Homo-oligomer: A and B are copies of this chain.
Amino acid sequence: MQERSQGDGGEQRTDASGDQAEPEGDDAAVNPLIEELLGGKHRALARVITKIENRQPGYRDLVSQLHQHTGNATVIGVTGSPGSGKSTLVDKMAATYRDRGETVGVIAIDPSSPFTGGAVLGDRIRMGSNVGDMDVFFRSMSARGSLGGLSTATTDAVKALDAFGKDRIIIETVGAGQNEIDIVKTADTVMVLVPPGSGDDVQMLKAGILEIADVFVVNKADLEGANRTVQELREMLDYSDGGVPRTVGHHGPDAGFDGSGGEDHDDEEGWDPTIVETVADRGEGVEELLDVLEQHQAYLDNSGQRDAQRRARYAEEIRTLVREDVNELLVAEIDHQGGIDAFVQRVLDRETDPYAIADDVVGPIEDCVSERRE
């Protein structure tokens, strides 16, 4: 097994004991790694995530063993088009959480890159922050296998951070494509960054992002065009659910803010997406943003949405894993029967047809399962 240097790039702390060699690639030896992770060793956390990301032998057992230690972290998904200032804002959020005494893990998702470089991200956070010793674990995840695999790997990596004991886990995407949206929407609270400027950006949001956002952030709120962007967002949200969206931050509560605070916001009608204005590079609006995120978390707990959300996500996780496993089985079965190219040639020659092939491939599996039940 090769331990890639990127694997340790996110580490903020070096534990002497983390250097001890464990017999890697041996399934029976994964327990010590989990023990170290649960014991607070960042090096073990980094190794577990590397195994998860690269789908190395034994990763399934690792994730299985992590599961019982999960369920305590708050997961925040952050997406938005490039240029909206996501990385700067996430850095400030992480630092502010640390100031509040909470531990933070950040996973940056970049489906378009085969190799994002966790070390670079590690540098980014250190340079972008004035907090020297903060306990923030940063890690990038990129597309090694299928994009479906990246989504599963992200879910698994979140479990590692959760089991480790991180209070807040931020999933940050590099872009805002469909695959990134699919990953971010598995978070408890979804934040969408909108760059100030032309209305084009708000228009673009309509294609799938509007539905998943719990909180909209207009970052760089000091730039010209920010007011117009906030106004357009408010009109869009107003139109979509009939309520009056709140606007918070930067310039302080504005006319759209009802002043009711978080608890009252949590009513039977569900959560109304909130607009927050920030100027991340000056740290403005970040405290207010974190407060709004807390309000959304309180809403999830008080409304019963937390439980519904968890059930829906575990069901989806189970279905996805089962589907991925069976797809591997199918690829092997098609190869065993001669390979996809041979099937295609017979279809082109009109010797058979796709439905007949599906029957040939799946039929025996179905028979097998039926016989086993009898």
Q: Which positions in A face B, CB cutoff 8 Å?
A: 60-61, 63-64, 67-68, 71, 178, 200, 203-204, 207, 310-311, 314-315, 317-319, 321-327, 329-330, 333-334, 336, 340-341, 343-344, 347-348, 350, 353-359, 361-362, 364-366, 368-369, 371-373
- Residue pair B323, A354 in contact (C-beta under 8 Å): no
- Determine whether the beta carbon of A321 is less than 8 Å from that of B357: yes
A318 engages B344 (CB within 8 Å): yes
The reply to whether B321 and A330 contact each other, CB–CB distance below 8 Å, is no
Question: Which A-B residue pairs are the 3 nearest by beta carbons?
Answer: A67-B353, A368-B368, A321-B358
**A15 nearest CB across to chain B (Å):** 27
Contact B362 A322 (CB under 8 A): yes
* Residues of chain B contacted by A178 (CB below 8 angstroms): 178
Cross-chain contact A323 with B327 (CB below 8 angstroms):
yes
A/B interface sample: 19 pairs, CB < 8 A: A60-B355, A63-B353, A64-B353, A67-B354, A204-B204, A204-B207, A310-B348, A311-B344, A315-B344, A321-B357, A321-B358, A322-B357, A323-B330, A325-B361, A325-B362, A326-B365, A329-B362, A329-B365, A365-B369
- A357 to chain B: which residues have CB within 8 Å? 318, 321-322
Central interface residue in A314, A322, A356, A372, by most chain B CB within 10 Å: A322
- Tell which of B64, B321, B330 touches A326, judged by Cβ atoms closer than 8 Å: B330
Q: Do residues A348 and B68 form an inter-chain contact, with CB atoms below 8 A?
A: no
Separation of A327 and B358 alpha carbons in the complex (Å)? 12
Contact of A372 among B61, B359, B364 (CB under 8 A): B364
Q: A314 to chain B: closest CB distance in Å?
A: 5
- Bound CA–CA A323/B361 (angstroms): 10
Q: A347 near B318 (CB under 8 angstroms)?
A: yes
A64-B322 in contact given A200-B200, A204-B204, A372-B364 (Cβ < 8 Å): no
Q: Knowing A178-B178, A318-B357, A357-B321 are in contact, say whether A67-B326 is a contact too (CB < 8 A).
A: no
**A355 pairs with B64, CB closer than 8 A:** yes
